[in-house]
Structure 1
Amino acid sequence: MIVQQELGPLGVATLLVSASCGIGFLFGSGEMALREGMAGSLYPLATAGGMVVLAFLARPLWLRGQPIWGTFGRAYGAKVGNGIAVLSLIWMTGVLAAQIKGGVAIATLCGLPHGVALAVILALVLTATSLRLGVAATIFAGCLLASNLVLLYVVIHSNGLGIYTNAIPKLAQDTRKLQPFDVVTTVVAVTFLVVTGADYQQFIIAARRPRDAYLGTILAAVILFATGFLPASAVLANQASLRGAGTTDTAQVIPFLLSQSAAPGGHNAEFAMLAILLAAALGSAAAVTRAMVDALSAVAGSPSLLRRPIGSIVILGTGGTVAAANHPMVETIVSMNIAYVASVGALFILHEVEAPISPRSAWSMGIAGLSTSMGLQMVRWFDLVTLPSVTPLVAGLSASVVTGVVSELIRLRPIQLK
């Protein structure tokens, strides 16, 4: 990964928050709040929790100076490293698609036709990926601060401050209405992806010092926890007006509320609010695109892709195609995360505790986790058998662990043929 180690704690925190808040955090949790109430805050809170874990891994990540596929490639060989990069491309496609979908929701609120809006958002994300990280941190910091302040204003203006201050008991109450397996799946998948995701790790690596990476990540966790309840609080405080508006695209709920808050200032004020929100969203999409181009370069064995727009164009084309499907943002992200977590989770833990394992066993663990989780996901998607949402995750992780144990036993105690 080619980065300049120039970020201080505030820069690290800003970009980590930008990578989180852009769409999945703001729009996805608002979209989920329409159906699940304060349980819509589950995604942002899991993200904040993941940041805390990531902070304690910041120093070794900074010292390695490599994303997860580079680290695994060095430990277990290029074959395993490339496999992790491919898996990373799959899950990050779901994240990028959510960012693009949210950007399109903003652009259509500005009056653009859907097809034109998609093309404009893809072009803007491509432009944003060319910004230096330090410059990006400054731009997106202001936009994120503005959008969250306005969201707080929406909550207060709608007499929703009581909802916000009582968010934790309300979260516990609304979460109990969900299937426990769904809650576990979301929390585990999101937390693990924050810890191992290259879109987050790139900012840890770009810090000036390990201390800056640690402090920046802790600051990001605090910010995410403080703002995590805002989208759901705003939606719950404005349920009546949202029903009256008849918004058909649930991804537009948060940008609609923010633009309406600026409506008294006229059309120009509304447009400015949407532009600020869009700029914040572009920070998230650009961060994911950078990480995906790095993964694509690792798989292709062509570092020059990092210095040319062709990699970004390919990545954005794929993300735009997935974004065209009409699925809720959080559901899209989590469903594409499960196979990655099942494939890499056990191996990641073994690597972090420095447990010795052969490259052959590492490869076998990844294949077993991937094939098991994907097979069960297909069973669920096609409704062949009714299975809890957590089944592909637990079964995939179990298959990975069992395969690793068996492979190591065979390696350490070979059968002597007579």
Structure 2
Amino acid sequence: MAFERRLDTFSLAALLVSAHYGLGFLLGTAEKSLTFGTAGSLYAVSLGLGTIALLGLAKFYWTQTEQIWNLLGSAYGDGVKIFVGLMSWSSLIGIEAVQLISGAFILKVFGIPTLPTMVVLAILFATISLLPVEKAGWILRGLLVVNFLALLYGLWVLHAFGDYLRSPFGGLSLQASPLTALAIAQSPIEFAGSVEHISLPSAVGVSLSTILLVLIDMKYQQFLVQAKDLQSLYKGCALAAIILLLLAFLPSTLVVAAHNAGILPAGIDGKETLPFILSWIGGGSQKPLGIALILSLLVPALGIGSSILRVQTKTVLDFNILPASVWSRVLVTAANALFGLAVAFKGGEIVNLIVSFYAAYVGAVFVPFVTYLLAQTGRYNFSKGSVKLSLIVSSFAVIILLILTLIKPELALFGSVELNIMGIGILSGILFLFIGEVLEKYLPTSKIGEEA
């Protein structure tokens, strides 16, 4: 991995925050908050908690420098490297789909239908990803700062700054929709109590999948290795966690305040909530400021969506599955865009969609990664064949479950789609890890231990 150790505390923190502060973070939190109040910030809070947990592995990543699939591949063979890389690639499909969904619902504020919009956005994402404009993604993402300032302005207009920092003894709360018939607390301080309104399996599935994802995902690792020293590394991670936890409650507090102020129209789709509030802040979707604020939320989707497609395409081509050529790049990019579009068409809540793909990656890769750490610490060395068998079985298990639950979300053995996918993946990984060890011990002539 080519890199320079040049990032100080603030630069590293900014990059770590930018890795997850996007449309899924904003629109997904707002969507959940329309029903669950401050508890809708669970996904965003979990990102912050995961960043805190990352402090335990920060030095490891900073020292090793290599991508996870290279680390595991060098220890357990090319077969493991390819499977980990492909699982990382597949996890990006959900994020790509979320950019398409988010963009479509942002434009829905103007009355534009969502399905045709998704098709047009998929074409735009693919086209931009093929252009040499990698640095433009950072410029486009920078427009999210405009929305951050707009949200702060919205809190001020709605007199909600006090609610954002209010003590647990305050009086104002969100009367949620008739579907939940719950009075939800709305301040960040009351977050822990409000989470009880989310079912325990769902809360565990979303939070645990997200926290574990942060620990083994390349979105963070690629920045950690660029910290100029260990002090900057630890301080940058800690600062990023604090910022994410503070940002986590901004969309939820604004949605609750807008709901209580009677701004939101009856029956509004949760995905449309934040774009609608931005248009209201700007005087309406027909006013220049309202249009500018909505577009400043849409344009980052182009940068994020195209950059994800670019990473997906690079991941596939780096494994030399196809010959290196312009047409191969175009073909892979088009295929990636179609996968994302298919998932976007299926729809679903933004947070659950993102975390379902997170859970698949965690369910497949977590056990092999833990075995690698055990080997590095000298506690136990599992055989190459055992780790490969574990990864292959768990990868197929989570992909099958992911596809099935996208079609029928009610297929959740553990009461949560995310917990179901991650749990089955990790359990099958552990089971076949030990089955592989037994076969290696009692059937030494088996082919399990051979390299791919």
**Richer in helix (by share):** 1
Task: State how far apart, in whole Å, the 2-side matches of 1:171 and 1:88 are.
Answer: 31
1:39-188 → structure 2 map (5 Å cutoff): 39-110=39-110, 112-115=112-115, 117-122=117-122, 124-126=124-126, 127=128, 130-133=132-135, 136-137=137-138, 140-141=141-142, 143-166=143-166, 167-188=187-208
Report the equivalent of 2:360. 339
Shift of 1:346: 1.7
Judge which range, 244-253 or 221-230, deviates more.
Answer: 244-253
Say which SS state the counterpart of residue 26 (structure 2) adopts. Answer: helix
Amino acid at match of 1:334: V
Report the equivalent of 2:427. 398
CA separation of 1:72 and 1:235: change in aligned 2, threshold 3 A: same
Shift of 1:185: 0.8
Shift of 1:47: 0.9
Amino acid at match of 1:381: K
Is 1:381 equivalent to 2:408 in the alignment? Answer: yes
Is 1:358 equivalent to 2:347 in the alignment? Answer: no
Judge which range, 119-128 or 72-81, deviates more.
Answer: 119-128
- Of 363, 388, 393, 1:368 maps to 393
Shift of 1:117: 3.0
Shift of 1:148: 1.3
Aligned residues: 415
Say which SS state the counterpart of residue 21 (structure 2) adopts. Answer: helix
Task: State how far apart, in whole Å, the 1-side matches of 2:382 and 2:240 are.
Answer: 34
In the alignment, is the contact (CA less than 8 A) between 2:165 and 2:189 conserved in 1?
Answer: no
CA separation of 1:151 and 1:169: change in aligned 2, threshold 3 A: same
CA separation of 1:132 and 1:89: change in aligned 2, threshold 3 A: closer
Shift of 1:372: 4.7
Shift of 1:261: 0.8
Gaps of 5+ in 1: none
Report the equivalent of 1:407. 436
CA separation of 1:91 and 1:51: change in aligned 2, threshold 3 A: same
Shift of 1:302: 5.4
Task: State how far apart, in whole Å, the 1-side matches of 2:399 and 2:336 are.
Answer: 22
Report the equivalent of 1:257. 277
Shift of 1:395: 3.7
CA separation of 1:9 and 1:230: change in aligned 2, threshold 3 A: same
1:309-324 → structure 2 map (5 Å cutoff): 311-324=332-345
Task: State how far apart, in whole Å, the 1-side matches of 2:444 and 2:238 are.
Answer: 50
Say which SS state the counterpart of residue 39 (structure 1) adopts. Answer: helix
Amino acid at match of 1:315: N
In the alignment, is the contact (CA less than 8 A) between 1:21 and 1:281 conserved in 2?
Answer: no
Report the equivalent of 2:176. none
Is 1:196 equivalent to 2:216 in the alignment? Answer: yes
Amino acid at match of 2:259: Q
Say which SS state the counterpart of residue 230 (structure 1) adopts. Answer: helix
Task: State how far apart, in whole Å, the 1-side matches of 2:338 and 2:4 are.
Answer: 27
CA separation of 1:218 and 1:131: change in aligned 2, threshold 3 A: farther
In the alignment, is the contact (CA less than 8 A) between 2:140 and 2:302 conserved in 1?
Answer: no
Amino acid at match of 1:223: I
Shift of 1:274: 1.7
CA separation of 1:371 and 1:34: change in aligned 2, threshold 3 A: same
Shift of 1:95: 1.6
Judge which range, 169-178 or 10-19, deviates more.
Answer: 10-19
Judge which range, 164-173 or 56-65, deviates more.
Answer: 56-65
Say which SS state the counterpart of residue 198 (structure 2) adopts. Answer: coil
Say which SS state the counterpart of residue 229 (structure 1) adopts. Answer: helix
Shift of 1:44: 0.4
Say which SS state the counterpart of residue 176 (structure 1) adopts. Answer: helix
Say which SS state the counterpart of residue 341 (structure 1) adopts. Answer: helix
In the alignment, is the contact (CA less than 8 A) between 2:264 and 2:273 conserved in 1?
Answer: no
Amino acid at match of 1:66: E
Task: State how far apart, in whole Å, the 2-side matches of 1:369 and 1:219 are.
Answer: 35
Amino acid at match of 1:343: A
Say which SS state the counterpart of residue 21 (structure 1) adopts. Answer: coil
Amino acid at match of 1:154: G
Report the equivalent of 2:177. none
Judge which range, 169-178 or 21-30, deviates more.
Answer: 169-178
Please give the root-mean-square deviation of Cα atoms over the aligned residues, in Å.
3.4
Say which SS state the counterpart of residue 324 (structure 1) adopts. Answer: helix
In the alignment, is the contact (CA less than 8 A) between 2:413 and 2:420 conserved in 1?
Answer: no
Report the equivalent of 2:28. 28
Shift of 1:340: 2.2
Gaps of 5+ in 2: 167-186, 447-452
Task: Work out the percentage of aligned pairs sharing the same amino acid.
Answer: 25
Amino acid at match of 1:54: L
Say which SS state the counterpart of residue 57 (structure 1) adopts. Answer: helix
Shift of 1:8: 5.2
Amino acid at match of 2:435: V
